[in-house]
Amino acid sequence: MAEAKDPSKYTGAERVAIFLMSIGEASASEVLRHMGPKEVQKIGTAMASLERISRRDIDYVLKLFSEAVHEHTSLGIGAEDYVRSVLTSALGEDKASGLIDRILLGRNSKGLEALKWLDPRAIAEMIRHEHPQIVAIVLSHLDADQAAETLAFLPERMQSDIILRIATLDGVQPAALHELDEILERQLSGKSTAKSSMVGGVQTAANILNFMDASQGTAVMAGVTQVDEDLSERIQELMFVFDSLVDVDDRGIQTLLREISTDQLVLALKGADDALKDKVFKNMSKRAAEMLREDLAAKGPVRLSDVESAQKDILATARRLAESGDIVLGGAGGETLI
C-alpha cells in the first residue's frame, strides 16, 4: 500500500481538487464555471491524478477553506468518471470534450492530442517541413494561443499561406484525419485512436491571429490580403484587437478597468486611438481620468514592443472576463444583448 501523503504537501491545485471533489458534482460545476480554461485544466488534471484521499486530507483542506463538510462526498466514484461528469456539466459537452482528453490522456495521448502537451517551438520544428495544408490542419486542432505561438516559430514566408488555408478549411474527413494522426503518431513513437473533427474556418484563423504579436499579425494579414482581399476582410471582421475595446459597453469597460493596473493601462493607451481613450476616460471618475491624462502626457516616448505587450495582457484579461461571463466583447464577432 502506498504511504499516505502528508496533507500539507498538497499543491494549491490539488487542494482545490480535493475540495471540489468533496462538495459534489453540481456545486463543483458551479465553481468551475467562474474559472478560465487554463485554471479548469490545471484543477481537472489534479482531480484525475489524486488517489487514496483520506479523511485527514479532506479535513485539512476543508479547514483551509474554512468550510464545513457533510458526511457524504463524491469521492467514492472513479476519478475519471467524476472529471468527465463535472467538466461536461460546467462547460457543456462541446467545450469539455477536448479538455477532458487533454486531462485524462495527458502524457499518454498520442498523435494530434499529444501535440497539445508540447512546447510550441517543438511543434513548429516537427511540422515545418510538412505540406502547408497539413500544417493548417494541425494548427486548427490546437488551442488558439498555442497555435499562435507555433505559427510564430514557422518561417514568415509560410505564415500567410497557412492562415489562408485555415480560414478556408471546412473540416477534415475521418480517413484523412486518421492518416495524419498516424503520421504524427510515428513521429512521437506511439499509437493513437483517431477522431473525426471539424476544424478550421475563418473564426479559427481570426482566433489564432488574435493571440499573435501585433507586428506578426499585421505581416500575416498583409500576405493574406494580397492573395484574397475578401477573405482578409472576413478574418479582420472576426478579430478582436485592442482598439475593438471601444465597442465594449460601459459596464464592461468599468469591470475591465478594475482588473488592470494603471501602469499597464498607461502603456497600452499610448498606442490606442482617441476613440478608445475617450471611452476609458468616460468610464472613470473625473479625478481618476485627469490623473490618467497627466500620466499619459508625462510618460513620453515608449517602445512599441512595450505598448503591444501591455495591450496583449489587457486583451487576455478581457477574454478571461468574457469567458467567465463578466463582460461581453462587442463589435466584431460579438452579439448584442437585449
Q: Note the pLDDT tens digit of each residue in 25-62.
A: 777 777 777 776 667 777 888 887 777 677 677 767 76
Using alpha carbons, list the distances in angstroms from residue 317 to 114, 181, 294. Answer: 28, 34, 25
Amino acid at 132: P
- Contact call for residues 256 and 328 (beta carbons, < 8 A): no
Structural domain for 284, as ranges:
242-323
Task: Give 71's pLDDT tier (boundaries 50, 70, 90).
Answer: very low
Closest C-alpha to 253, from 265, 270, 271 = 265
* pLDDT confidence of residue 278: 92
pLDDT tens digit string along 163-194? 998 888 877 767 667 767 776 766 655 433 33
C-alpha 209/C-alpha 263 separation (Å) is 26
C-alpha 254/C-alpha 321 separation (Å) is 12
End-to-end Cα, the chain, rounded Å? 59
pLDDT tens digit string along 256-302? 999 998 889 999 998 888 889 999 999 999 999 999 999 888 888 88
Read off the C-alpha cell for 177: 484525419
Q: What is the CATH number of the domain that holds 266?
A: 1.10.220.30
Is residue 142 domain-shared with residue 33, that is, in the same domain? no
For the chain, how are helix, strand and coil distributed in percent, rounded to 5? Answer: 70, 0, 30
C-alpha 94/C-alpha 85 separation (Å) is 13
Using alpha carbons, list the distances in angstroms from residue 300 to 270, 297, 309. Answer: 9, 7, 17
Is residue 118 domain-shared with residue 218, that is, in the same domain? yes
Is residue 102 domain-shared with residue 124, that is, in the same domain? no
Asked whether residue 66 is assigned to any structural domain, the reply reads yes
Is residue 185 domain-shared with residue 281, that is, in the same domain? no
Beta bridge partners of residue 197, listed in sequence order: 172
How many domains is the chain partitioned into structurally? Answer: 3
Read off the C-alpha cell for 157: 514566408
pTM, 2 dp? 0.42
